[in-house]
Amino acid sequence: MARRNRKYPNYWKPDPRFGNLLVGRFIGHIIWDGKRSVAEGIVYDAFDLIHEKTKKGGLNVFEQAIKNVAPIVELKSRRVGGANYQVPVPVSGDRRQTLAIRWIRDAFRKQKGKPTAEKLAVELIEASNKVGVAMRKREEVHRMAEANRAFAHFAR
């Protein structure tokens, strides 16, 4: 029997400006075609724009936005006796951050007609104020989980 290849754990690197692991992860999710320097530029420009608009630090607004968008429950499909049920399950810490990052990224990428840094800044400000597209996504997921609470006993 052949040996399995070893799976080495992947670690996110902190970003160069703040030394913050969460910002490093966010930059990693924004990268397109392996261009980290471009992604860093976009994120740092957005932080500068946030600072100009709100007079709060860009990093503070970013962390608040991630905290606000991170979901508490999500739906998982479970197959029970030939039927598929959407079962609400609690979300663990790392996955909460990942989902929040993904929703913010998708929300600002959908906008058109403005520079990317500007779109990101607007989305982060909105998310930190508990409005915006990413927050709507979170509310939608929570609403669906609430509607499917009857199937919570299928969660394993």
Domain boundaries, the chain: 21-154
Q: What is the pLDDT of residues 44-78, one digit of tens each?
A: 999 999 999 998 888 999 999 999 999 999 999 98
pLDDT of residue 78: 87
Among 89, 92, 90, smallest CA distance to 151 is for 89
| Predicted model pTM | 0.89
How many alpha carbons lie under 13 Å from residue 34 in its C-beta half-sphere?
0
If one looks up domain 21-154 in CATH, what number appears? 1.10.455.10
CA distance 153 to 58: 42
Which amino acid, 139? E
State how beta strands 73-80 and 83-90 pair. antiparallel
**CB neighbour class for 132 (10 Å; exposed up to 12, middle 13-18, buried from 19):** buried
